[in-house]
Amino acid sequence: MQKTAPAAPSTGVMPQLGRWLRGERLTTLNLFVTFVIICIIFASQAEFFLTLENFVNIGRTLGVVGIVSIGMTLVLITGGVDISVGSVAALSGVVTSILWLNYDVSLGVATIVGLLVCTLVGFINGYLIAVVRINPLITTLASFSIIRGMAFVLSNGQTNQLNDEAFKFLGRGEIAGVPVSLVLMIVLYIVFFFIMHFTQFGRNLYAIGGSADASRLAGIAVRRHLLIVYTLSGFLAGLAGIIIASQLASSAPRAATGLEFTVIAAVVLGGTSLSGGKGSLIGTLVGVFILRVLDNGLVQTRVSSFYQDVVSGTVLLLAVGFDQLRLQLTSRFGGKS
């Protein structure tokens, strides 16, 4: 994709409005307002929505999607996609449980090996995409299938219990009343926010997503960047899988089924473009919160699960649709976005 040169700044109310509308901050602000509106609606309908216990619960069940969404945001910003994250998450739990239960390996070491295996899967994805130059969708769709199959083969289709109090602390424990998985997720968001906005590596990812060819010509090591991004995505999916296993105190080859769709929905809702070059981790974080609060509120207001799917899909469509409308208004009043 070729980038067009930015239009020269112009004066007047309409161009200024256009520039304001075009801003990424506004996307995030819109999302935040949407989030607050959703919270107000549920608070008026569900008696226990605005309680500390419920917020702790939301925090506890947010980490998995939140952490995988970091990797997916990076991948989408580069113009790629990673469909394999759910399968990779399942694999990490399966590998950890098998090493712990069937071999003389401590749970800590088993967890590290599980994470390393997932990191390796991410690296292989990255290698196939960046070096062999297979389409990201095809590559990760294939690994989605292969890795899920491996999880079944390794576990023989069985769910394994992981009853270890220290292990359960990651998924269920709290630090000063805040769920550990939420703390971990926030730390990761801070780290990756810094990387994306204050390092050359982060800026290069946006450039690659805008135009890989132009980035290559500009001297950016595109292959290396893509390799790192997919490796990170594999690592983060593996970490999410460990959190799932810790929360459930068990590992199952079917774990995290459909996680990839929830994660992509959250990231796109957060304003990241599927065509690359645009997106932010703050937006992703708000997108993750919106989807989680929607699920929570709909359960608490006892809406049928069939309607829950309808509502979640509609909110996604409305949010992305309004954002597209805003961008169209932007180009109408103040040049291209």
Q: Which of 4, 6, 8, 48 binds another protein (CB under 8 A)?
A: 48
Q: Which of 295, 326, 327, 335 binds another protein (CB under 8 A)?
A: 295
- Amino acid, res. 302: R
Report whether 114 contacts 140 (CB < 8 A). no
| Distance separating alpha carbons of residues 200 and 21, to the nearest angstrom | 27
Q: Measured from the CB atom, is 257 or 337 closer to another protein?
A: 257
| Distance separating alpha carbons of residues 9 and 309, to the nearest angstrom | 43
Phi, psi (rounded to 5 degrees) for 159: -90, 130
Site membership for another protein, residue 145 (CB under 8 A): no
Q: How many residues interact with another protein (rule CB under 8 A)?
A: 39
> Hey, which residues between 54 and 113 contact another protein (CB under 8 A)?
54, 57, 60-61
Site membership for another protein, residue 166 (CB under 8 A): no
Q: Measured from the CB atom, is 6 or 302 closer to another protein?
A: 302
Q: Which of 211, 300, 331, 337 binds another protein (CB under 8 A)?
A: 300
Q: Which of 21, 46, 121, 227 binds another protein (CB under 8 A)?
A: 46
- Which of the 8 DSSP states describes residue 276? S
Site membership for another protein, residue 158 (CB under 8 A): yes
Q: Is 269 helix (H, G, I), strand (E, B) or coil?
A: helix
Q: Which of 16, 30, 45, 159 binds another protein (CB under 8 A)?
A: 159
Q: Which of 11, 163, 200, 217 binds another protein (CB under 8 A)?
A: 163
Q: Measured from the CB atom, is 2 or 304 closer to another protein?
A: 304
Exposed/middle/buried for residue 5 (C-beta within 10 Å: 0-12, 13-18, 19+): exposed
Alpha-carbon separation of residue 234 from 8, 181, 231, 237 (angstroms)? 41, 18, 5, 5
Of 102, 111, 105, the C-alpha closest to 168 is 111
Q: Which residues pair with 251 in a beta bridge?
A: 160
Token duo for residue 281: 């981790």
Neighbours of 194 (CB within 10 A): 12
- Least Cβ distance, residue 169 to another protein (angstroms): 11
> Hey, which residues between 302 and 331 contact another protein (CB under 8 A)?
302, 304-306, 308
Query: Which residues contribute to the site for another protein (CB under 8 A)?
Result: 46-48, 51, 53-54, 57, 60-61, 152, 156-161, 163, 168, 171-172, 244, 247-250, 252, 254-257, 295-296, 299-300, 302, 304-306, 308
